[in-house]
Amino acid sequence: MPGSRKAAISFIFFTLLLDVIGLGLIIPVFPQLIAELVGGTMSTASQWSGLLTFAYAITQFVFAPVIGNLSDQYGRRPVLLLSLFGFGIDYIFLALAPTIWWLFVGRIIAGVFGASFTTATAYIADISTSETRSKNFGMVGAAFGLGFIIGPGLGGLLGELGPRVPFIAAGILTFVNMIYGYFVLPESLSKEHRRAFEWKRANPMGSLIQLKKYKGVGGLIFAFFLLYIGGHAVQSTWTFVNIEKFHWSKSLMGLSLTFVGILIASVQGGLIRYTTPKFGEQKSIYIGLGLYAFGLLLFSFATEGWMMFVFLVPYCLGGIAGPALQSIISGNVPKNEQGELQGALTSVMSVTSIIGPLLMTNLFAWFTRPEGSVKFAGAPFLAGSVFMLVSAILAARTMKKDSFLNRRSKIDDEPLTPVH
């Protein structure tokens, strides 16, 4: 049993790693593929990219709870393998796409089946003991960091062979992983622990509706929302801005994203262990959001390509803000409501993935359109900087309010509220 458990943990790690590598592979070449299919400029391609991301995000928002509930009824193994199959089909659609509409079909398929992260983490919870749970969940972050270091660099190099080559490589990786899992991955959820599928528990709006309960920390949750919206300035337009302004090659784009992966892994995996004890959570929020805003401001007015690499340092150092903000929100909610809260915060992040890309790619398109009188490719970064500043102000105001202080005192001093 310990041997099969170890093999399962290894498979889950490689599943997540290959998922992120596959995602990273296609990022450097996606703008060129879209531009090739629509026959337009980077300005036009960015708008289509925003719509494609919207299609994926909203489909995933609707189907993620459905897939999660199906895994509770039928087990993790079939759902995880089905998710990998869906991603493989997505990459094949992207690789062979003769028109832009094929990309939409592929992204929607990925959105429906793209619950491999959710199912994989549920699998880890199933097979972990209290002693190994923290270490096993730590592998999720490690897989994400390592995948984002490997994927974009490799994608940039493969992209030099053609814009469709990285998609073929990502598809092959995913199908190999699925076949490997079919033969070695055991089921983790025993039949006595399964439950029937219920549509009311698969409601994607359910978690969002629960947010109204957290009045004392409502401002912090909105600050969390603004932080993630601001982050989409980089996530959604980094490739487009650098192609438009600095004419970066695919390999240079991949190198920049690999550098991002290294910086994020260094901050999240190392630096944060020292900054939080030294500054405390509240100061970490202010410092982190300030660095995010400063980095985005520098991006928006950069005049040389090498500056973008330098400015990545203060921007990525801003990564100390998110965990501190989430920790303070969590610390001001009773222990028996934590699962519900985390589900609600995940839903908030899903909503930002629907709104953020559309907002930022359309800002870029507006300020880079050929007929436009004002040319400013860095507009999304400037908007992101404003979102970060507003987030910091909102967080500061919330933590000074009586409702926040009273709730915090209540959590510290009173026993848990009963479960109804």
Q: Would you put residue 162 in left (φ > 0), alpha (ψ -120 to 50) or beta?
A: left
**Please, which pLDDT band fits residue 45 given cuts at 50, 70 and 90?**
very high
Instruction: For residue 110, tell me if it sits in a domain.
Output: yes
Rounded-to-integer distance, Cα 242 and Cα 297, Å: 15
- The reported pLDDT for the residue numbered 308 is 97
Residue 197 lies in a domain: no
pLDDT digit string, tens, across residues 381-408? 999 999 999 999 999 998 887 556 555 5
Instruction: Work out the percent of the chain whose per-residue pLDDT is above 90.
Output: 33
pLDDT value of residue 407: 57
Query: Mean pLDDT score of the chain, rounded to an integer?
Result: 83
- Same-domain status, 160 and 258: no
Q: Which residue has the tokens 């076949």?
A: 179
CA distances from 22 to 25, 175, 280, 325, 350 (A): 5, 11, 37, 30, 20
Is 191 part of any domain? Answer: no
pLDDT band at 82, cuts 50/70/90?
confident
Assign residue 213 the CATH number of its domain: 1.20.1250.20
| 8 Å CB contact between 144 and 93 | no
Residues 351 and 412 in one domain: yes
Q: Are residues 277 and 415 in the same domain?
A: yes
The answer on 236 and 139 residing in a single domain is: no
Higher pLDDT, 346 or 105: 105
Q: Answer yes or no: is 6 within a domain.
A: yes
Task: Report the pLDDT value the prediction gives residue 396, as an integer from 0 to 100.
Answer: 92
Residues 242 and 355 in one domain: yes
Weakest-pLDDT range from 123-132, 149-158, 267-276, 298-307: 123-132
Q: Per mean pLDDT, which range of 149-158, 185-194, 246-255, 358-367 is the poorest?
A: 185-194
Amino acid 8: pLDDT: 74
Q: Of the ranges 21-30, 160-169, 211-220, 390-399, which one carries the lowest mean pLDDT score?
A: 211-220
Phi/psi zone of residue 248: left (φ > 0), alpha (ψ -120 to 50 degrees), beta? beta
What mean pLDDT is predicted for residues 203-220? 75
Length of the chain: 420
CA atoms within 13 A on the CB side of 299: 30
Residues 119 and 232 in one domain: no
Main-chain phi, psi angles of 101, to 5 degrees: -70, -25
Q: Do 165 and 210 lie in a common domain?
A: no
Q: What is the SS3 assignment for 33-46?
A: HHHHHHCCCHHHHH
Q: Is the pLDDT of residue 415 over 60?
A: no
pLDDT digits 0-9 by tens, 244-265: 999 999 899 999 989 998 898 8
Q: In 206-226, which positions are buried (b, 16+ CB within 10 angstroms) versus exposed (e)?
A: ebbeebeebebbbbbbbbbbb
> Could you tell me which residue, 309 or 66, shows the higher pLDDT?
309
213 and 127 within one domain:
no
| Burial class (CB within 10 angstroms; exposed 0-12, middle 13-18, buried 19+) of 320 | buried
Residue 226 confidence (pLDDT): 96
pLDDT of residue 348: 85
Tell me if the pTM is above 0.95: no
What domain range includes position 172? 1-184
